[in-house]
Amino acid sequence: QDVPPFTEDCRTDAYPPNEKDRVKTFVLNLDLPPKERWSNLAKEKAPELKAMIQSIIDLVGSVVNVTEAIAFIDKEFALLADQLPAPYGDEMKGIATAADIPLGQVVLYNVFYEIFTL
């Protein structure tokens, strides 16, 4: 592992990157009801989304009882969805349904920036 200070010269050859790394585009139709907007994408990416949320739960489980933590997140964070400003709560409900993930876990993921600073 290189150590600071930085050891690599300025790159001049990185662009264009490999096409396989280019990110695809999803069209979000704002004219749809909030619960339906993300459904197709959430369904398509459900396995990856579940794996990522499981990674957070594993992390939480390394410091507290994982079963209790999941029960707490599923119940208490789900309640937050109705308190969040529109249309975000409904969009999260739509994602939870489409990806078959407990709503509380989707809410936790969406407020992670605020909590992560802890």
Partner 1 sequence: CTSIIAEAPNGTLYHARNLDFGLFLGWDTENDKWALTEKLRPLIINVDYQSGGKTVARAVHFTGYIGVLTGVKPGVLTLSMNERFQLDGGYVGFIKWLLGDHSGKWMGFFLRETLVSSASYEAAKSSIMTEELLAPAYFILGGNSSGQGCVITRSRETMDNLEELKKTESGWFILQTNYDNWKTPPFFDDRRTPATKCMNKMTKEKAGLAGIYNVLSTKPVMNLLTTYTALMQVNSGYLETYIRDCPQPCFPW
Nearer to partner 1, 8 or 67 (CB): 8
Closest CA to 77 of 34, 49, 107, 56: 107
Q: Smallest distance from the beta carbon of 104 to partner 1, in angstroms?
A: 13
Nearer to partner 1, 78 or 101 (CB): 101
31: helix, coil or strand?
Answer: coil
**Where on the chain is the footprint of partner 1 (CB under 8 A)?**
1-2, 4-17, 21-31, 38, 41-42, 45, 48-49, 51-52, 55-56, 58-59, 83-85, 88, 91-92, 95, 99, 101, 106, 109-118
Q: Smallest distance from the beta carbon of 3 to partner 1, in angstroms?
A: 9
Sign for the pseudo-dihedral over CA of 102, 107, 110, 113: negative
**What span, in angstroms and rounded, lies between the C-alpha atoms of 115 and 118?**
6
Closest CA to 81 of 98, 72, 94, 68: 94
